[in-house]
Structure 1
Amino acid sequence: MRIKLTKISWLFPLSALVSTSVSALDNNRVHTVDADLHNIVEQVSAERIEKDIEKLVSFGTRHTLSDTKSDTRGIGAARRWIKAEFDKISAECGGCLQVFYQSKTIKGEKRIPDATEVVSVIAIQSGETDPGRYVLMSGDIDSRVTDVMDFTSDSPGANDNASGVAGTLEAARVLSKYKFNGSIVYAALAGEEQGLFGGKILAEYAQKENWRLKAVLNNDMIGNVQGINGVINNTTARIFAEGTRQTETTSEARTRRFTGGEVDSPSRNLARYIDLMADRYIPNLDTMVVYRLDRFGRGGHHRPFNDLGYPGVRIMETNENYNRQHQDLRTENGIEYGDTIDGVDFDYAAKLTALNAVSLASMAWAPTPPANVKISGAVKPDTTLSWAQANAEQNPQLAGYKIYWRYTDAPQWQYSKFVGNVTEYTLKNVVIDNYFFGVASVSTDGTESPVVFPGAAGAFGE
């Protein structure tokens, strides 16, 4: 459980930017440093991640259409090993994980023409007070070479995407030592290279089961530090986050045209949250929030969740080496091609894994993001925000709410005010036309939810 300290600190390093009108509670409240978050970072092991990547590479190929019967080669052996690792983690925490295969038979698709069972491995760590609220971390099991239909050639997939699966396993090892208010899902998803099928299957399952899914952190290639352009950099990472959500209705689009929200989708505010976690907890790491669903014209396993309206981002390296992506193993003109393990920086993979882990932990410990956030103040000198009161039984850690605002061209929230456990607050002499606004839930020890922009454009769901 959580360790309580008496040092004064904020979860996010925004204290220097807080409005001068902040209440006495905001100035004098003693917030405890979440020592566990710092400990989580320290517990992430580059050595364990290296061993996991080595094991995944040892299966030769993890192509979706590859062998499922062998114990040593193919995607079947790989997914059985992943499940065994999750089972082992669960046994060490007294059965704290629900581990299961999730599958669906796919056929008649361009990249899966014949009936094929696409099987992912899912582990769920249920929350103590609000188990129906979820945050999720994912990596992709499958690998490929130049020909996307070649399921027999060696395809190590060391960085793409054994690194993401290894990071997900390692996050589960570390976070399973703690208890949280909300639930955490660790997902090793299959079928990504053949059409994002594992993500589609899990997203549809989440929707069917009425998961209140607040965040999807998709990790796809988190181990390369040397770009094809020759740049070597282990101090930066990218967070891709779409703007206007895919599920927006015509009526909602019309409202957004007059109120804003293009850059304040839940995915964008999730990305801002992770960016601040990097600043606060991950030494020597600067994250770049990219205002795009994914790399130009490309896709990843967060997209199926975005397609259903869930907040989701892609976390990955900054500098890609295309000679190591989707390539047959070969040497041409002195250039080595192929996604082999010698191209993975394990310390860097551990750094990005730690970023995932602290972000998941913070959100799972925090109260649920505010729902039904509304704003008013047209042709007035003041701005009023309101929101629904969080369920007290699900959120016993709730201390109150914090309003954020920023200039409309600012990438991060600039000003904030803790307003207490109320459901409406008016910011005096803050003109609605000049800023974007949002509300976060705050726990008794200062842990905060992501910021929620008012209206449908920014809603994280009920």
Structure 2
Amino acid sequence: MHFPLTSYYIPYTLATLVPLVYAQTIGNVSPWPPGPGSSLVPQAPNSELTQILNEIDPSRIQATIQKLVSFGTRHTLSNQTDPVRGIGAARDWIASQMRTFAAASNGRMTVSVPSYIQQPVNGLVLQPTNISNIVATLTGTSEPNRVYVVSGHYDSRVTSILNFMDDAPGADDDASGVAVSMELARVMASHQSAATIMFAVVAGEEQDLFGSNFMATTLKQQGKDVQGMLNNDIVGSSTADDGTVDPNDIRMFVSGLPPSNTAAQNLNLASIGGENDSPAHQLGRFVAEVSQNTVTQMNVRAIYRPDRFLRGGDHESFLAQGFPAVRFTEPHENFAHQHQDVRVSNGVQFGDLIQFVDFNFTARVAKVNGAALWSLAQAPGTPKNVKIDTSVLTNNSTLSWTLDPKADAGYEVVWRETDEPQWSMVIPVGIVNSVTVNLSKDNVQMGVRAVGKNGFKSPAALPMPS
């Protein structure tokens, strides 16, 4: 059989099949025979990434959170001109710190404070209010338009969403997430990234995701190719309300059907069993693969829903624009320390106080983000226009995609049983834009990922029927 130079065929004959072996117990049969390829080995951090992760400093994270708490309140409606109290003082300090980090980048990192005036919203905003984000952008050396974002929000609140006068320390929600974004900006500023990384600190989250919506819509309007957004919101505590300590786990909330999809797009995705293979799910799989290792010392627990019940976060603004996004949140939340007036009631301390933050835990969460961000930005981009041929009935599967010159080590087909959460098998196919594998599309889920000569591999893309 002849195949064009841009195609590749994976032979899979009956001789390669491992026969079914019946177990001792009557009716108990071993799993399906293995298909083509080999077991997928998770990507490990290289020497540069290991250095980056080892530079993340818990004491720096502690100092950042302490400084943010010192502003008293960072409520969206609080004072914007007082130099020591309120959201304006916090904004100016964060921007100053980011500029200090950028000085080590030889011009690769720039800092901006994009702002707009939010008009009054019933029950949320009382008067026209300035909403300001702080963004440190490490511009990609070879693909500046391909963008990855890490973010935390710097506004805080107490019990009443309109109370902008009382102290709202916001140590965990969300000075912890801000500290993650700022620490990664500090550490990565002196490195060169192939794609662009944006270290964002956004405002107005507690009111209605104002800052992140402004950022996501702006990036969309600018035509930026945002291929991943990592939101860190409430990532400061490893202790449950019953005192149980869980220092090595982090939850990652992963949305299913994209909210930006039309009904027809969702039906098309559902028709091929792709509900668990949205771009956000592929991003989540990638994060889980590259961020669980001996350097981060963390387990990433993927939870397949957009967020916790009755809650939301800044990743939703990016999902709404069609960008893949996930949210990190500590494994066990103590609700006495969130959205509460600072007080003692019946012997219980309420309020989002710094005494409840575990700085070493937050540093490990930063390492999870750092491993994912750097691996994403150094790999080729997620393959585009990935298709699977459904024109004829066959037990083979033919996939195609658009060649990317940055995929200078070729492509891999990854696959898994449909009820498995992670890709489990991989088939290297070389620098081609089409491949036929003797693997039935009816039985498994498949994806295509790009590979760079530097060893970094992209998230996989689900093939859609051609």
TM-score by length of 1: 0.90
CA RMSD of aligned residues (A): 1.9
Pick one of 418, 422, 425 that aligns with 2:428: 418
Pick one of 125, 131, 155 that aligns with 1:112: 125
Distance, in Å, in 2 between the alignment partners of 1:200 and 1:281 is 35
Distance, in Å, in 1 between the alignment partners of 2:44 and 2:95 is 37
After superposition, what is the alpha-carbon deviation per residue over 1:416-457, rounded to whole angstroms, capped at 9, x for unaligned? 1111110011111x111111111111011321111111239x
Distance, in Å, in 1 between the alignment partners of 2:211 and 2:78 is 16
Match of 1:98, SS state, is strand
Tell me what 1:10 maps to.
none
Counterpart mapping for 1:145-294 below 5 A = 145-280=158-293, 282-294=295-307
Distance, in Å, in 2 between the alignment partners of 1:321 and 1:307 is 29
Structure 1 residue 284, shift from structure 2 partner: 3.0
Q: Is the 8 A contact 1:41 1:281 kept in 2?
A: no
Structure 1 residue 102, shift from structure 2 partner: 1.1
Match of 1:380, SS state, is coil
- Structure 1's unaligned 5+ residue stretches are 1-18, 457-462
Tell me what 1:79 maps to.
91
Distance, in Å, in 1 between the alignment partners of 2:306 and 2:295 is 24
Q: Is the 8 A contact 2:409 2:453 kept in 1?
A: yes
Tell me what 2:445 maps to.
436
Structure 1 residue 292, shift from structure 2 partner: 0.5
Structure 1 residue 22, shift from structure 2 partner: 3.7
Pick one of 390, 402, 419 that aligns with 1:409: 419
Structure 1 residue 159, shift from structure 2 partner: 0.6
Q: Is the 8 A contact 1:99 1:122 kept in 2?
A: yes
Change (3 A) 1:245 1:70: same
After superposition, what is the alpha-carbon deviation per residue over 1:255-291, rounded to whole angstroms, capped at 9, x for unaligned? 2232121111111111111111222354431111010
After superposition, what is the alpha-carbon deviation per residue over 1:15-54, rounded to whole angstroms, capped at 9, x for unaligned? xxxx77449xx99xxx996211211211100010000000
Pick one of 91, 94, 97 that aligns with 2:103: 91
Tell me what 1:387 maps to.
401
Q: Is the 8 A contact 1:325 1:339 kept in 2?
A: yes
1:435 is matched by which residue type in structure 2? V
2:236 is matched by which residue type in structure 1? G
After superposition, what is the alpha-carbon deviation per residue over 1:308-351, rounded to whole angstroms, capped at 9, x for unaligned? 11100001211101010001110011100001101000000000
Distance, in Å, in 1 between the alignment partners of 2:148 and 2:44 is 23
Q: Is the 8 A contact 1:38 1:281 kept in 2?
A: no
Match of 2:196, SS state, is strand
Structure 1 residue 96, shift from structure 2 partner: 2.3
1:59 is matched by which residue type in structure 2? F
Distance, in Å, in 2 between the alignment partners of 1:418 and 1:51 is 46
2:315 is matched by which residue type in structure 1? H
Kindly indicate whether residue 327 of structure 2 is the aligned counterpart of residue 314 of structure 1: yes
Kindly indicate whether residue 142 of structure 2 is the aligned counterpart of residue 129 of structure 1: yes
Tell me what 1:372 maps to.
385
Distance, in Å, in 2 between the alignment partners of 1:387 and 1:81 is 46
Tell me what 1:41 maps to.
53
Pick one of 439, 456, 464 that aligns with 1:447: 456
Structure 1 residue 376, shift from structure 2 partner: 2.5
Distance, in Å, in 1 between the alignment partners of 2:337 and 2:270 is 43
Tell me what 1:6 maps to.
none
Change (3 A) 1:200 1:283: closer
Tell me what 1:51 maps to.
63
Q: Is the 8 A contact 1:103 1:120 kept in 2?
A: yes
Distance, in Å, in 2 between the alignment partners of 1:146 and 1:163 is 19
Tell me what 2:157 maps to.
144
Larger Rg: 2
Q: Number of aligned pairs? A: 429
Identity of aligned residues (%): 36
Match of 2:140, SS state, is coil
Distance, in Å, in 2 between the alignment partners of 1:32 and 1:324 is 36
Q: Is the 8 A contact 2:44 2:293 kept in 1?
A: no
2:458 is matched by which residue type in structure 1? S
1:382 is matched by which residue type in structure 2? N
- Structure 2's unaligned 5+ residue stretches are 1-33
Distance, in Å, in 2 between the alignment partners of 1:293 and 1:255 is 21
Tell me what 1:65 maps to.
77
Kindly indicate whether residue 410 of structure 2 is the aligned counterpart of residue 400 of structure 1: yes
1:306 is matched by which residue type in structure 2? L
Structure 1 residue 252, shift from structure 2 partner: 1.7
Distance, in Å, in 1 between the alignment partners of 2:432 and 2:254 is 31
Distance, in Å, in 1 between the alignment partners of 2:93 and 2:238 is 27
After superposition, what is the alpha-carbon deviation per residue over 1:180-223, rounded to whole angstroms, capped at 9, x for unaligned? 11000010000000100001000110011100000000000111
Q: Is the 8 A contact 2:283 2:459 kept in 1?
A: yes
Distance, in Å, in 2 between the alignment partners of 1:444 and 1:168 is 28
Distance, in Å, in 2 between the alignment partners of 1:265 and 1:238 is 19
Change (3 A) 1:39 1:20: farther
Distance, in Å, in 2 between the alignment partners of 1:304 and 1:21 is 40
After superposition, what is the alpha-carbon deviation per residue over 1:374-404, rounded to whole angstroms, capped at 9, x for unaligned? 11256311111110011x3xx2x62111111
Tell me what 2:371 maps to.
358
Counterpart mapping for 1:2-17 below 5 A = none
Change (3 A) 1:20 1:39: farther
Distance, in Å, in 2 between the alignment partners of 1:258 and 1:35 is 43
Structure 1 residue 254, shift from structure 2 partner: 2.8
